[in-house]
Structure 1
């Protein structure tokens, strides 16, 4: 169970590292616009805001990596904290921006959190 939890935490960290790349570097490109369903006009006008969001996603990924490499109890506590933050942010994003965020962000974070908690 512990190995499965750590693998899922690493996967969530990778998801958020990828979101960082999309939001910070690819937002105003065809790939970024396709990923987020935005127009060229909107992506150009909102690129600075998206880069800020991307930075936050990077911090979440870094926190999860810290949780994976830090000794317990700190590592375990960091995983719980950052996964909880991502799950809450995902639910809020799904309610206010796009239901897709529920599946891309909240569900993986909640599943990883459940495994981390059950693995102790």
Structure 2
């Protein structure tokens, strides 16, 4: 069960690495298409999306610190904190932006938290 929790947590981190890239580096091209924005709308939103990508990067950082921290208890705290933040951000995104965000972000994070609890 512990291994499965680590795998799902890694999946959450990888999803967010992709989101960081979509909202920053890839926003003018692929990100714009993924978010369904016109060229004009994307240009207006680019600074805000880059900022949002930065925050998603912090979520990835929390999960990575969770894996890499030499103290297991501290690492677990970072992982749980990161997963809880992802879950809450996904709920907020589903309410304010697009319902599918709930399934892309929140469901995997909650699954990882549940697996960690059961492990």
Q: By how many angstroms is 1:38 displaced?
A: 1.2
Number of residue pairs matched?
Answer: 118
SS at match of 1:11: helix
CA distance in 2, matches of 1:86, 1:113: 11
Taking structure 1 as the reference length, the TM-score comes to 0.94
**Aligned equivalents of 1:102, 1:37: Cα separation in 2:** 18
Note the C-alpha offset of 1:75: 1.0
State the match for 1:42 in structure 2: 41
Native 8 Å contact 1:83 1:109 kept in 2: yes
Alpha-carbon distance in 1 for matches of 2:68, 2:8:
14
Tell me how far 1:18 sits from its aligned partner: 0.8
Structure 2, unaligned runs of 5 or more: none
Report if aligned partners of 1:79, 1:116 keep a CA contact under 8 Å in 2. Answer: no
How much does 1:113 deviate? 1.1
Q: For 1:1-120, what aligned pairs fall within 5 Å after superposition? A: 1-29=1-29, 31-70=30-69, 71-119=71-119
How far is the alpha carbon of 1:33 from its aligned partner?
A: 1.6
Post-superposition Cα deviations, 1:53-103, rounded to whole Å, max 9, x if no partner, equal 001111101110111122310111111111011101101110111001111
More off after superposition, 44-53 vs 32-41: 32-41
Taking structure 2 as the reference length, the TM-score comes to 0.94
